[in-house]
Structure 1
Amino acid sequence: MSHETPIRVDHTGIAVESIPDAEPLLFALGCRKLIEESVEGRFRWAQYDFGTNASRLELIAPEAEDTFLTEYLDEHGPGLHHVTFEVADIDAVAATLEESGYSVVEYREYEDWTEAFVPPSNPTGALFQLFEYHDSYDEGRPPAEKLYVDGQRLTK
């Protein structure tokens, strides 16, 4: 099974206890900080790149005491958390995965994006996030070159 939907690695998420404590390593590697946001006071994320049109790294750190991220850090410690694939049509990709026998969970549609996850029970052992940007995603955010790989989101 396959699909015709454009897809690419958007970012790799790294769980950390503190973004300010972890980001100096990324700066020493030559990264530049693109954006940092809080998600409903539960966790904070920041994205970085190397000043090219390459995929990005993301640091995610808890802001509240009882979240999926605090549980993850308690169980696993800091480290690789997920790989996010930007997809032009999340429904087509999810359908292909499910038709191929893989689970797609936590499908959520928000105002500015839709996401779903392929749990780490898959043969790779990695958590994959599928992420489709909506047209409204860039409204009120930094310029497109800081939001999207190559400065543009994928389209159908």
Structure 2
Amino acid sequence: MHDTPIRVDHVGIAVESVEAAEPVLQALGCEKLVDDTVEGRFRWVYYTLGGASRLELIEPVAEESFLTDFLDRNGPGLHHVTFEVADIDAVIDTLEGEDIAVVDYQEFDGWTEAFVSPGNPTGALFQLMEYHESYVEETGTPAESLFIDGRPVGE
């Protein structure tokens, strides 16, 4: 077992249209933090609720992608749960030590991420994210808005 701090960062919801779904989140009191597109593949819009809860709407932009496949199979709804981790490698080592598949490990300038395959006994897709110091600078969003309690987990 590891002793790495972990917390839920956000819940990702797959939608056909952010514009159609956003009024639901606004009616619940969510505030939009980020609205961005990833390499012409999908749009992600990040919201906060009450300062400590976060939701993400993800909408396909490309004609065919992991997201269009997901929506074709399942329709709109819960796509993933993201955990912020202080040491992604320690968490991955623990998961793999329990024969739990971790896939799509990638390093970016602002964060490192990997996914726990939904083939695990929970059936849920978990995203693991370790933020790098440059993340706040890259997004241009104040740390108190991006992180629960205004700082990365473990600080």
TM-score range, shorter chain: over 0.9
5+ residue gaps, structure 2 = none
Among all aligned residue pairs of Structure 1 and Structure 2, give the percentage whose two residues are the same amino acid.
65
Cross-structure match for 1:79: 77
In the TM superposition, what whole-angstrom CA distance separates every residue of 1:16-37 from its partner, at most 9, and x where no partner exists? 0111110100011111111111
In the TM superposition, what whole-angstrom CA distance separates every residue of 1:37-66 from its partner, at most 9, and x where no partner exists? 1111110111112232x2311100011111
TM-score (normalizing by structure 2): 0.95
RMSD: 1.1
TM-score (normalizing by structure 1): 0.94
In the TM superposition, what whole-angstrom CA distance separates every residue of 1:102-149 from its partner, at most 9, and x where no partner exists? 111111111111111111110100000000111111114211122111
The number of residue pairs the alignment matches comes to 154
How far apart in 1 are the matches of 2:152 and 2:22?
A: 25
Check the 8 A contact 1:90/1:114 in 2, yes or no.
yes
Cross-structure match for 2:45: 46
Structure 1 SS opposite 2:25: helix
Residue type of the partner of 2:152?
R
Check the 8 A contact 2:44/2:56 in 1, yes or no.
yes
Map 1:89-108 onto structure 2 (within 5 A). Answer: 89-108=87-106
Map 1:3-152 onto structure 2 (within 5 A). Answer: 3-52=2-51, 54-141=52-139, 142-152=141-151
Check the 8 A contact 1:82/1:129 in 2, yes or no.
yes
